[in-house]
Amino acid sequence: MLEPNPKPTISHNRREAAIARSHESHESHEKMTNETPVAIITGAASGIGQSTAQLLASRGYRVAIADLREPAAADTAASIRASGHEAISVHVDVANEASVKAMVETVVGSWGRLDVLVNSAGLESAKACLDITPEEFRRVIEVNTTGTWLCCQEALRRMLTQNSGAIVNLSSIAGQKGGGMLGTAAYATSKGAILAMTKSLAREFARSGIRVNAVAPAFTLTDFVRRQLATKPEGFIDSIYAATPMGRGAQPEEIAEVITFLASPQASFITGAVYNADGGTAM
Ligand SMILES: NC(=O)c1ccc[n+]([C@@H]2O[C@H](COP(=O)([O-])OP(=O)(O)OC[C@H]3O[C@@H](n4cnc5c(N)ncnc54)[C@H](O)[C@@H]3O)[C@@H](O)[C@H]2O)c1
């Protein structure tokens, strides 16, 4: 059983008030209304996106599990519904403009609104600068950076009609410090661009009631990391833990808490921020 959230002290508009009410009844079987807040989480078929979708659902949001991998997205949505919350799955390739447009149309068509976008879809890249091909480099940028941009753009079009919304983008410690431990230059480039994007959009939409923030995790134990560890020598993980002040990696649930906070009315005066969730690595 999750601890109830503190009640927000300020409700700026109907959306914030609706989210605040949904937080008060955040456990299962909450009564859904047309004002119940709606969140799209890309990359929600696994890892950080999946944990975030589960947490947002438990806090009273209707959640759209958007991912390239349809069966895994459908399974995630089904397991959220099985715990008494409202969830749908939506197929999306975030790098494809038409697909992103269709994702937002499907969600708004189903639930009539869009309050939160979490951009968690992403690709790792373990190749060093002199090894990566131009095609591989472009794909990392296309999914991680352009994909985040396209989802923001389409969500912002809808959020503007509501004069409210919150976007949380997934950057990375690699985007702050450069790649090195797992992700390499191409990945770090794609994630660094997300920081500039987040701040620019935050500035552009701050007076429209829309907040845009980023989370920069370090090493988080998901399939993303497991795939990269599989290519490294045994014991490699210990070198990562040794370089992390807290001496461990994160669980995806720990990153989901930060994302959910930034998406919530509790973060109503926060925009253009980058929250490191990195066990002290960026210090
Ligand atoms: N795990 C980490 O250590 C770590 C650290 C820093 C940042 N991040 C970032 O967090 C985000 C989530 O990472 P994760 O560890 O949960 O990874 P993950 O691989 O577990 O999940 C990523 C999801 O994105 C989906 N996806 C990939 N390409 C897509 C596309 N074109 N369209 C739609 N969906 C697509 C995948 O199917 C997958 O379900 C990523 O953006 C990653 O860069 C992760």
Ordered structural domains, the chain, with CATH: 14-277 (3.40.50.720)
Contacts of 122 (CB under 8 A, 6+ apart): 43, 143, 144, 147, 170, 224
CA angle 216, 218, 222 (to 5 degrees): 110
Within 6 A (CB) of ligand 1 lie: 42-43, 45-49, 67-69, 92-95, 120-123, 143, 147, 170, 172, 217, 219-220, 222-225
Residue 210's closest CA among 171, 259, 161?
161
**Can you give the pLDDT at residue 34?**
83
This prediction has a pTM of 0.91
Taking the CA of residue 147 as reference, the ligand 1 atom at the shortest distance is: 31
| d(C-alpha 252, C-alpha 48), whole Å | 5
Residue 231 amino acid letter: T
Question: Given ligand 1 and candidates 224, 232, 255, 262, which is best to mutate, with the most ligand atoms within 8 Å of its CB?
Answer: 224
For residue 120, the CA-to-ligand 1 centroid distance in Å is 6
For residue 92, the CA-to-ligand 1 centroid distance in Å is 13
Residue 170 amino acid letter: L
Query: Could you tell me the CA-to-CA distances from 141 to 52, 92, 116, 125, 280 in Å, in that order?
Result: 23, 17, 23, 10, 27
Q: Which residues are marked as active site? A: 187
Q: Please say whether the dihedral angle defined by the alpha carbons of residues 251, 253, 254 and 256, taken in this order, is positive or negative.
A: positive
Rg (CA), the chain: 18
Helices (H), 243-283: 252-263
pLDDT tens digit sequence for 158-191: 999 999 999 999 999 999 999 866 668 999 999 9
How crowded is residue 270: how many other Cβ atoms within 10 Å of its Cβ? 14
Helices 97-111 and 147-162: crossing angle, nearest 10°? 30
Q: Which one has a higher pLDDT value, 282 or 194?
A: 194
How crowded is residue 174: how many other Cβ atoms within 10 Å of its Cβ? 25
**Can you give the pLDDT at residue 16?**
52
Entry field: residues in the chain: 283
**Can you give the pLDDT at residue 182?**
61
pLDDT band at 127 (very low <50, low <70, confident <90, very high): confident
**Can you give the pLDDT at residue 10?**
32
pLDDT tens digit sequence for 73-107: 999 999 999 999 999 999 999 999 999 999 999 99
For the chain, what is the mean pLDDT? Answer: 89
Helices 70-82 and 47-58: crossing angle, nearest 10°? 30
Are 117 and 155 in contact, with CB atoms under 8 Å apart? yes
Are 121 and 95 in contact, with CB atoms under 8 Å apart? no
Find residue 189's DSSP bridge partners. Answer: none
